[in-house]
Each structure stands twice: as structure tokens, then as C-alpha cells.
Amino acid sequence: MISPFYYKDHTFFILDQRRLPLEETWIGCTCADDVALAIRTLAVRGAPAIGIAAAYGLVLASRKGREHVEHCARTLKEARPTAVNLAWAVGRCLEAVRDAADSDLPDRLLHEASVIWQEETAANESMARLGSSLFAPGRRYSVLTHCNAGSLATGGIGTAVGVIRRLHEEGKLAMVYMDETRPLLQGARITAYELTKAGIPSTLITDSMAGWVMKLGKIDAVIVGADRIARNLDAANKVGSYGLSVLARAHGIPFFIAAPRSTFDPDTPTGEGIPIEERDPLEVRSFQGHVSAPEVPAFNPAFDVVPHRLITAIITEESIICGHESPD
């Protein structure tokens, strides 16, 4: 299993996911602004991973005192808008040092950041166990996943990919179909990289093939992660997830989300209130950094929202929650 980051000698090292799978390059961050830039530009990405990275960003800020920590907290929180894990982790770190003297900030923040990372790792393991229990033993299932909800998105074994790893270990997995996940190809570049390294049978498809692959009877379940889950259980995830949920319902296939408690946002009543990040249209007009379309206007929402009625179950570290039983 490959980690998206590590901390050593007052430096937070981030594996540059933009260059995967061709290059494994590490970025050494020595200040919170370096971490915020890495989050904003997707060198580190995935909801739990950007929360953990932001916590280490505050560790780097801590030697300059409380005012600087608070300033950097705002910068880190604003680095990306959709995944609530980012604001959650920053808020938790600030709370942990609410009454601390300036001289105690570095130790206390380092402790809190490592506890957040450990908890996310443990949550991945629990989700994997609970998620696998949704699949009866004695047969092998083929599942479809979208984007990357694996080690590189979480710092642990993964949310959706954690469940997939567990299914594989228990002999319940036949095949993982991976959407390539346009425009930035997290499925093709990162999930394919992780599953291949783990020796898990996987097949890459383009996003537009998902419906046909379902129609051919090749998919038993869809399983994805999430970036923010509203109080009514509407769930934001990588753009394309909404379409998959509609397709899954049309084909009578269960649609599962695996997400830790840090992804739940009790302050947002429904999916309509979830801020959706809009990225540079050039990402849509290009492929792997090469312009592939004329200068037409392009729309580039990075996420969409799966309505709770289309979610068969949400797997958390504590329990399995039935999406379509949620009240509006």
C-alpha cells in the first residue's frame, strides 16, 4: 500500500499524484502555503487525505505562533470547497490548541494531526469489514468504482477501495471495473495504479461505457467514496457519480457509498447546499495536458450530488446506513 504523504524533520512530503502513474515524485512542504498549494492543484487529493494534509499544514505553521496558525487555517480551509473533511480537520486542530500557549503549539498540533491520520486509517479498516459483510460469501462479485477512493485518497487502505481490497482478501471479488474519470483521470491513473500494485483483478473503462457494461450484466454493485454527505444523506462525490446512481437504479444494481464520519456535514441540510467546485474549463478542453478541443466554452464541475433515494447504503466506520430511508 502506498501512502500519499509522510512527515519528517519539520517537512511534510506529499506524493505528487498529478504525475502518477508515470513518475513517483515527492514534494517537500516546509510551510502551510506549500500544503495549501498542493491541495489546490490536486498534488494531494481525495477527501480524507486533504483533511490530514491540512492538519500537517498547521503543524508547519505552528512555529510562527497562534496568529499565523489561525491565518493559515483560513488559507487551508479555502483550498478546495467541496470535501468537508478539509474544514473538519482544520476545525478539529484549532479546537485542540484552543487554550495552548504558543510554545506548546508545535507538539500539540503534531499530536492532533497524527491522531486524525490514525483515526482515518482505523475508519478505513472498519468500513472494509462492514462493507464486505454486504456481500454474501460463496460467490464472486464484480463491482464498478469511480474516481479514486483508495490509499492515495485517504492515507489508509481506502474507503471504497478498502471494501474492494477486503472483498478480494475474502475471495468474494471477481472483477473491479474502473471508470477512467474524466477530465483528470483519477480512475485511470490512480485507481488502476493502486489496484494493479495490489494484484486485484481490474478492468478500465471510459466513463461513457458504464451504462453498457451494466446492461451486459457485468456489474453486481457500484461502490464509490464521498466528499460531503448532507444531513438528509445526499452525497457529493466526483462528477459522474450522480449518473452512475441513475444507471444503477435503472439496472437494479445496488449503489453503495463508503465514507468515514469526517465526511458527514450535519450543518448542510440537503445536497442542494453542498458547494460544488468548478475547475478550469481547460481541463475539459484537454487530455493529459494536451489541448484536444477548439476554444469552445466548457463547463467543469468537479463533483455532483447523488440524491439519498438512489443510495442503497452508506458504509461508515460505525454502521451501515440506508440511504433511501432518510427523510427529506
* Residue among 97 and 315 whose Cβ is closer to ligand MRU: 315
Instruction: Specify the residue, 109 or 302, whose C-beta has the smaller distance to ligand MRU.
Output: 302
Torsion of CA 19, 22, 23, 27, to 10 degrees: 10
The DSSP bridge partners found for residue 235 are 229, 306
Strand 228-229 versus strand 313-315 pairing type: unpaired
Q: Does 46 bind ligand MRU (CB under 6 A)?
A: yes
Residue type, position 5, single letter: F
Read off the C-alpha cell for 276: 460544488
Looking up cell 505552528 gives 62
Q: Centre a 10 Å sphere on the Cβ of residue 168 and count the other Cβ atoms it contains.
A: 20
Instruction: Report, in Å, the least distance between residue 50 CB and ligand MRU.
Output: 7
Please name which of 221, 258, 231, 256 lies closest in space to residue 46, comparing C-alpha atoms.
258
Report in angstroms how near the CB of residue 152 gets to ligand MRU at its nearest: 9
The catalytic residue among 16, 99, 107, 227 is: 227
- In the set 109, 153, 253, 310, which binds ligand MRU (CB under 6 A)? 153
Residue 251's identity, in one-letter code, is H
Interface segment toward ligand MRU; rule CB under 6 A; list 7-15, 135-143, 199-207, 225-233: 225-233
Of residues 18 and 66, the one with the C-beta less far from ligand MRU: 18
Subset of 185-224 contacting ligand MRU (CB under 6 A): 186, 224
**Residues 19, 46: Cα–Cα separation, whole Å:** 15
Residue 79 vs 214, nearer CB to ligand MRU: 79
Determine if 87 is a binding residue for ligand MRU (CB under 6 A).
Answer: no
Q: Which of 221, 226, 310, 314 binds ligand MRU (CB under 6 A)?
A: 226
> Judged by CB, which is closer to ligand MRU: 62, or 242?
242
Q: Does 81 bind ligand MRU (CB under 6 A)?
A: no
Q: Which is nearer to ligand MRU, 108 or 285 (CB)?
A: 285
227 interacts with ligand MRU by CB under 6 A:
yes
Window of 130-138, 153-161, 289-297, 309-317 that interacts with ligand MRU by CB under 6 A: 153-161
274 binding ligand MRU? (CB under 6 A): no
Judged by CB under 6 A, the number of residues near ligand MRU is 18
* Interface residue with ligand MRU, options 89, 110, 164, 302 (CB under 6 A): 302
Asked about 227 being catalytic, the answer comes back as yes
Task: Report, as residue numbers or ranges, the catalytic residues.
Answer: 227
Chain contacts with ligand MRU (rule: CB under 6 A): 45-48, 83, 147, 149, 153-154, 159, 186, 224-227, 237-238, 302
